[in-house]
Amino acid sequence: MSRRIILGSAAALVVLGGGGAFALAHAGEQPPALNNSTARYTAPAADREGSLTFTTNVTAASGVKSLKVLAWPADSPVLAKNPLSQKELAAVESAKCKPTGDDTAHCTYRVTVTAAESAESAKGRWHVATLATADNGDTSFNDKTATFTVD
């Protein structure tokens, strides 16, 4: 084998190895990520309350600390002028999260909806906003993680 090929191969290994180390280090710095997010709204009926259920899988390299959840109407005139912020979401209710691995948790947020609440709620499309926090303090905010319809 020629010396040029050996040196070229060694240089490639150094570059690839260094890039891999950077990728691993960079992956540890990623904010929490949400996957497989779904929202389901069930309207109240004469004999039972309704509900809103939001589920998602949260992944964070340092572990999942919490997931804040807030549902809001898409046609809200207030939020059209002043969109939700990460700071506002920090003060809302948390989903219940159960670890499914070292860096992943399955989170569920469920709230009951009475007939009176449903009657007062805006009809149409709604969004679910989320604020995921990792054990190391990294956060991920999304004001439109999932959508559902209130009829």
Q: For residue 125, give Cα distances in angstroms to 17, 24, 25, 120, 142.
A: 48, 40, 40, 15, 17
pLDDT at residue 108 is higher than 90: yes
Q: 63: which residues sit within 8 A by CB, 6+ positions away? A: 99, 102, 103, 134, 135, 136
Q: Which of 124, 97, 99 is nearest to 108 (CA)?
A: 97
CATH number of this structure's domain 31-150, picked from the four choices 3.40.50.970, 2.40.50.100, 2.130.10.10, 2.20.130.20 = 2.20.130.20
CA distance linking residue 108 with residue 87, whole number of Å: 21
| pTM > 0.85 | no
- CA dist 15 and 118 (Å) reads 59
Phi, psi at 61, each rounded to 5°: -55, -35
pLDDT digits (tens, 9 = 90+) for 40-69: 999 999 999 999 999 999 999 999 999 999
8 A C-beta contact, residue 17 and residue 25: no
Percent share of the chain, pLDDT over 70: 81
Question: pLDDT tier at 28 (50, 70, 90 boundaries)?
Answer: low
Instruction: Domain ranges for the chain, please list them.
Output: 1-30, 31-150
